[in-house]
């Protein structure tokens, strides 16, 4: 893949890592970064993450062959629809948001002819934020989900998949609602659980935590505003996922109350099997 100009709207951890990977892998001849603070963009340019920083997404979109919007999920659709009218025909717009259904459903009916949007979600990230944590290998061997709907243009889908593969990622195509249902369980629910566990910790016991508590709650350090937006966009599926977990915790509670250690052991054996299969 050889892109003349790639524009990244939102140069944080994900956007910065896309820029770094695109430059280091020779995927794009020129990488434009769009942000809200020139000083932050200048630092990203100095760090080799982007070639040039612009405050106006429209100026960047006019020049770009591919635009990746890496802003919080509650602003992605708005950003895409703001730049789509100025994009040259054939421009590919995509994103990196953790939710897909609402974003795709908002964008697709409002897109001008000749400009394509394909939803993306790279399953990579960190509780850390900001371009200073950008990592050119962030997507290496990770999975990126690329969404397809009845309105998705096949060539745009193919180009989006090629783009993520060129960044080192594996690609899986899913429908937006199927994505949101699965990620509600595999990503959004763990965040809720980690936050509930950390938040309920009585203050005096912080000293008495060890690696188990720290691993289990690590992602609770993520940005609250970003996660509130994710929960808001995907609340119905998160409620379903939470229901699955609460059912399981209720079974644990029954085992503890009844002293049914054989049944509790069975639950732990089954959980270990699942966890072992995921690898480290």
Task: Tell which positions 136-175 bind a copy of itself, by CB under 8 A.
Answer: 142-143, 145, 172
Nearer to a copy of itself, 151 or 258 (CB): 258
* Shortest Å, Cβ 131 to a copy of itself: 19
Nearer to a copy of itself, 154 or 276 (CB): 276
Residue 11 dihedral angles phi and psi, to the nearest 5°: -100, 70
At residue 21, the 3 state secondary structure works out as helix
* Shortest Å, Cβ 226 to a copy of itself: 9
Tokens at 197, concatenated:
């566990």
Nearer to a copy of itself, 56 or 215 (CB): 215
Find the DSSP H helices in 148-260: 154-166, 176-183, 189-199, 211-217, 224-233, 235-258
Site string for a copy of itself, 245-264 (x = CB under 8 A): xxxxx--xx-xxx-x-x--x
Options 21, 34, 92, 194; binder of a copy of itself; rule CB under 8 A? 194
Q: Which of residues 37-66 bind a copy of itself (CB under 8 A)?
A: none
Query: What do you get for the CA distance between the two ends of the chain, in Å?
Result: 32
CA distance 227 to 124: 15
Options 40, 75, 126, 137; binder of a copy of itself; rule CB under 8 A? 126
* Shortest Å, Cβ 67 to a copy of itself: 24
189 interacts with a copy of itself by CB under 8 A:
yes
8 interacts with a copy of itself by CB under 8 A:
no
Sign of the torsion angle spanned by Cα atoms 12, 14, 17, 21: negative
187 interacts with a copy of itself by CB under 8 A:
yes
Q: Segment near a copy of itself (CB under 8 A), from 27-35, 53-61, 103-111, 197-205?
A: 197-205
Instruction: Give me Rg for the CA atoms of the chain.
Output: 21
* Shortest Å, Cβ 225 to a copy of itself: 7
Tokens at 185, concatenated:
């369980």
Cα angle: 244, vertex 143, 185; to 5 degrees: 10
In this structure, are residues 50 and 21 in contact, taking their beta carbons and an 8 Å threshold? Answer: no
Size of the site for a copy of itself (CB under 8 A): 84
Nearer to a copy of itself, 91 or 120 (CB): 120
Nearer to a copy of itself, 2 or 280 (CB): 280
Tokens at 104, concatenated:
């795709």
Strand ranges (DSSP E) for 140-235?
143-147, 170-174
In this structure, are residues 131 and 47 in contact, taking their beta carbons and an 8 Å threshold? Answer: yes
Closest CA to 147 of 88, 105, 111: 105
In this structure, are residues 94 and 163 in contact, taking their beta carbons and an 8 Å threshold? Answer: yes
Nearer to a copy of itself, 24 or 272 (CB): 272
Nearer to a copy of itself, 42 or 223 (CB): 223
Residue 153 dihedral angles phi and psi, to the nearest 5°: -80, 125
Options 1, 59, 86, 267; binder of a copy of itself; rule CB under 8 A? 267
Site string for a copy of itself, 203-232 (x = CB under 8 A): -xxxxxxxxxxxxxxxxxxxxxx-xx--xx
């Amino acid at each position: 893949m050889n892109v003349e100009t790639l524009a990244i709207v939102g140069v944080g951890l994900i956007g910065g890592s896309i820029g770094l990977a695109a430059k280091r892998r020779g995927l794009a001849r020129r990488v434009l970064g769009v942000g809200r603070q020139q000083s932050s963009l200048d630092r990203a340019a100095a760090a080799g993450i982007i070639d040039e920083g612009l405050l106006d997404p429209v100026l960047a979109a006019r020049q770009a062959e591919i635009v990746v919007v890496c802003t919080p999920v509650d602003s992605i659709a708005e950003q895409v629809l703001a730049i789509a009218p100025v994009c040259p025909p054939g421009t590919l717009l995509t994103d990196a948001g953790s939710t897909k259904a609402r974003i795709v459903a908002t964008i697709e009916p409002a897109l001008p002819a000749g400009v394509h949007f394909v939803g993306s979600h790279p399953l990579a990230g960190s509780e850390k934020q900001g371009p200073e944590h950008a990592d050119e290998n962030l997507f290496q061997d990770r999975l990126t989900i690329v969404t397809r709907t009845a309105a998705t243009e096949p060539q745009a889908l193919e180009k989006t998949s090629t783009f993520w593969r060129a960044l080192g990622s594996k690609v899986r195509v899913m429908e937006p609602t199927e994505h949101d249902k699965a990620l509600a369980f595999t990503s959004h629910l763990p965040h809720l659980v980690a936050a509930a566990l950390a938040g309920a910790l009585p203050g005096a016991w912080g000293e008495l935590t060890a690696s188990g508590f720290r691993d289990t709650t690590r992602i609770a350090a993520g940005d609250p505003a970003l996660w509130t937006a994710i929960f808001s966009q995907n609340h119905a599926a998160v409620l379903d996922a939470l229901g699955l977990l609460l059912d399981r915790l209720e079974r644990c509670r029954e085992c503890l109350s009844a002293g049914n250690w054989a049944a509790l052991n069975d639950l732990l054996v089954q959980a270990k099997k699942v966890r072992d299969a995921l690898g480290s």
